[in-house]
Amino acid sequence: MNTQDIERIESELSLKLPEFYTDVMLSYPFPGWDCENFMLCNDPEEIIRENKENRKEGFFDAEWPDHFFILGFDGCGNYYFIDLKNKKEKVYFADHESFFDSNSPDKLEETYDGMESYFSLIRETEEDIKIANEEPLEPLPSKKWWQFWK
């Protein structure tokens, strides 16, 4: 991502992104990282689209305020976001399977204090993906379908 991309995001979403986010994105993606298409999205089009859609439609029947900025997602309908009203460097996780109150993001079960904490999650996730891709799948037993419960 470059300065023009960041300016475009800010312009289209009518917001000012925090320096801790823009500093990271100007030097991202990092060598060896594969998460640039989801957990820390590097595509300005997708960032703009996801933010606009949630502002308009909400998040699973919950309001999505303009001061929430989606920076990534997990591929299962959940979002990683920052609260632009909160001056702390904090990343939140909006989980559609848990109660989501947009008025109280600090009460969410999963939060990350600072980008480095969030990066730790990304590294762990990438390790899990690599391990899962390396492990061969166990062959299915050669039983008829109705015999699996015996």
Q: For 84-121, how does the pLDDT look when each residue is reduced to its tens digit (9 = 90+)?
A: 998 889 999 998 888 777 777 777 777 888 888 888 88
Asked whether residue 39 carries a pLDDT value surpassing 60, the answer given is yes
Q: Is residue 116 part of a domain?
A: yes
pLDDT band of residue 34 (cuts 50, 70, 90) is low
Asked whether residue 80 carries a pLDDT value surpassing 70, the answer given is yes
Structural domain count of the chain: 1
- Tell me what the pLDDT averaged over the chain comes to: 84
Q: Is residue 67 part of a domain?
A: yes
d(CA 78, CA 95): 5
Give the CATH number, domain containing residue 95: 3.40.1580
Rounded to an integer, the average pLDDT of 127-146 is 66
Q: Is residue 143 part of a domain?
A: no
Q: Is residue 72 part of a domain?
A: yes
Q: Is residue 147 part of a domain?
A: no
Q: Is residue 146 part of a domain?
A: no
**Structural domain of 73:** 3-133
Q: Is residue 51 part of a domain?
A: yes
* Number of residues that this document lists for the chain: 150
Q: Is residue 101 part of a domain?
A: yes
